Amino acid sequence: MAKLVFGMNQSLDGYVDHMAFGPSPTLFRHFVESTRGQAGSVYGRQMYEVMRYWDDDHPEWNADERDFAAAWRIQPKWVVSRSLKSVGPNARLVEDDLEGTIRTLKAERDGEIEVAGPDLAQSLTDLGLIDEYIIYLHPVVLGQGKSYFAGPRPRLRLMANDKIDEDVIRLVYVPA
């Protein structure tokens, strides 16, 4: 059975704006390896549209960026949206029955399935489907933006923490 994991970079004040701060080379490499090991990803529309950047090669990319793009492209993706009419390569559109689709994915797959996007994560949290929350805590304060938790924070229990690079701590939580 697969484990559903919601993980994102987060500022000290709880925001996840990927344009305001980015991963160091060490953290980016960690994301490359994580993506390689995942059984797939479930995206909300907005996060999927951001991630479509990795569908096309860019000449300015370094080796790690090319590695990430390759890992992301081969990974199966499920995109939850009522407004999109089509999705890109290796992706399937989920327009309805979110709960049934995710329960089936968890039952039929093995490994870790990433959840990408706070709004989608909140919907899946409300359904009791997220097995693990990972916060990559960065030492920045944004003061505004999109929160890691798009709704009330569920009761959580800290399971692990580790230093990923000189500035970022990974916090791993499970529902309490």
Spell out where 47-145 has E strands: 77-80, 91-94, 111-116, 132-137
In the prediction, which pLDDT does 20 show?
83
In the prediction, which pLDDT does 9 show?
95
Write down the residue that tokens 């990795």 correspond to.
Answer: 54
What the block records as the tokens of 97 is 């029955």
Q: What is the pLDDT of residues 93-116, one digit of tens each?
A: 999 999 999 999 999 999 999 999
Buried b (16+ CB within 10 A) or exposed e, 64-77: eeebbbebbeebeb
Q: What is the pLDDT of residues 24-68, one digit of tens each?
A: 999 999 999 999 999 999 999 999 999 999 999 999 999 999 999
Longest dimension (CA), the chain: 46
Q: State pTM to two decimals.
A: 0.94
10 Å CB burial of residue 32 (0-12, 13-18, 19+) is buried
d(CA 63, CA 140): 27
pLDDT category at 81 given cuts 50, 70, 90 is: very high
In the prediction, which pLDDT does 19 show?
80
**Sign of the C-alpha dihedral computed for residues 144, 150, 154 and 159 taken in this order:** negative
- Mean pLDDT of the chain, nearest integer: 95
In the prediction, which pLDDT does 17 show?
84
In the prediction, which pLDDT does 88 show?
93
In the prediction, which pLDDT does 18 show?
78
Q: What is the pLDDT of residues 111-145, one digit of tens each?
A: 999 999 999 999 999 999 999 999 999 999 999 99
DSSP state of 71: H
Looking at the predicted structure, is the pLDDT value of residue 22 above 90? Answer: no
